[in-house]
Amino acid sequence: MASLSVGELQEMEVDRRGESEESGDDETRRRSINGDVDPNQPNTTSKEESPVDMDTITLDPEEEDVDLVHCRIGKIEGLEVLQKAKTLSLRQNLIKKIENLDSLSSLRELDLYDNQIRKLENLHNLTQLELLDIANLEHLAVLEMLELGSNRIRVIENLDTMSSLQSLFLGTNKITKLQNLDALHNLTVLSIQSNRITKIEGLQNLVNLRELYLSHNGVEVIEGLENNKKLTTLDIAANRVKKIENISHLTELQEFWMNDNQIDNWSDLDELKNAKSLETVYLERNPLQKDPQYRRKIMLALPTVRQIDATFIRF
Contact 159, 148 (CB under 8 A): no
pLDDT at position 207 over 90 = yes
Residue 210 lies in a domain: yes
pTM of this prediction?
0.67
pLDDT at 113: 81
Q: Is residue 307 part of a domain?
A: yes
pLDDT at 141 over 90: no
Report if residue 65 sits inside a domain: no
pLDDT interval class at 212 (50, 70, 90): very high
Sheet holding 167-169, edge to edge: 119-120, 145-147, 167-169, 189-191, 211-213, 233-235, 255-257, 280-282, 307-308, 311-312
Angle at 281 between CA 279 and CA 285, to 5 degrees: 165
CATH number for the domain that contains residue 206: 3.80.10.10
Q: Which residues are within 8 A (CB) of 10 and not within 5 positions of it... i.e. 6 or more apart?
A: 129, 130, 151, 152
**Residue 67 falls inside a structural domain:** no
pLDDT of residue 27: 34
Asked whether residue 265 is domain-assigned, the answer is: yes
For residue 288, what pLDDT is reported? 97
Looking at the structure of the chain, the number of domains it has is 1
Question: Would you say residue 177 lies in a domain?
Answer: no
Per the domain annotation, does 167 fall within a domain? no
Range of the domain at 288: 197-314
pLDDT 10s digits, 242-278:
999 999 999 999 999 999 999 999 999 999 999 999 9
Asked if residue 309 belongs to a domain, the reply is yes
What does the pLDDT average to over 112-134? 77
